[in-house]
Amino acid sequence: MSKLLRQSFVLLLLMTVITGVLYPLATTGLAQLIFPHQANGSLIVKDGGPIGSVLIGQSFSDPKYFWGRPSATSPNAYNASASSGSNQGPTNPALTEAVKQRIAALHAADPGNSAPVPVDLVTASGSGLDPEISPAAAQYQLARVARARGLSPARVQALVNACTRGRQFGLLGEPRVNVLQLNLALDAAQTHGS
């Protein structure tokens, strides 16, 4: 019996070292070697410090910025340590009320906009941290942002086009616009007077 216990303990120790130490070190080292930007969180650095990640949405409420999808994380919106959806179904009155409030906020920010509100501007993603919006959601906000910044709609459209990514490998997913990258491009365009 003691021989069996000793063998079991040695096997447990060996597998702990292999799967708990060597394998994580090897995969982390390989990721750092091959994909260092992604392995470090796809961070966006400005003025020498990280200001966000292309993978995690941020809150924007100023009319001069494009707004992302609503966040369902708690206790605070866009809380990356609490990624989750709201789990509210389409028949849930709380979801219906939240969507109505979000539509009202969009109309209040741009009262002259009579276009249909894209669904991704009023519903949260499954993670509650979606960093991207659809091109339709960007188009819906384009006139408001151009007015607030004093830029021509054509200039803002060019920035939206530059920040729009197509389907992955030409067939997976949908076209999308990263909100943080677009807003940083807008800030840079306004700073450089173009």
Res 9 pLDDT > 90: yes
Domain count, the chain: 2
pLDDT band at 194 (very low <50, low <70, confident <90, very high): low
For residues 63 and 81, membership in a common domain is answered with yes
Q: Which domain holds residue 18?
A: 1-40
**In this structure, are 1 and 66 located in the same domain?**
no
Distance (Å, rounded) from C-alpha 66 to C-alpha 144?
9
Question: 1 with 75, same domain?
Answer: no
According to the model, what pLDDT value does residue 54 have?
86
Q: How far apart are CA 194 and CA 192, in angstroms?
A: 6
Query: What would the mean pLDDT of 123-136 be, rounded to a whole number?
Result: 87
pLDDT > 90 fraction of the chain, expressed in percent and rounded = 56
Residues 4 and 77 in one domain: no
The reply to whether omega before 70 is within 30° of 0 (cis) is no
Q: Are strands 132-133 and 49-53 parallel, antiparallel or unpaired?
A: unpaired
> What average pLDDT does range 25-54 have in this prediction?
88
Q: Region 29-52: what's the mean pLDDT?
A: 87
Q: Are 64 and 151 members of one domain?
A: yes
Alpha-carbon separation of residue 39 from 36, 62, 129, 178, 180 (angstroms):
5, 31, 19, 19, 19
Q: Are residues 5 and 33 in the same domain?
A: yes
Whether 142 and 182 map to the same domain: the answer is yes
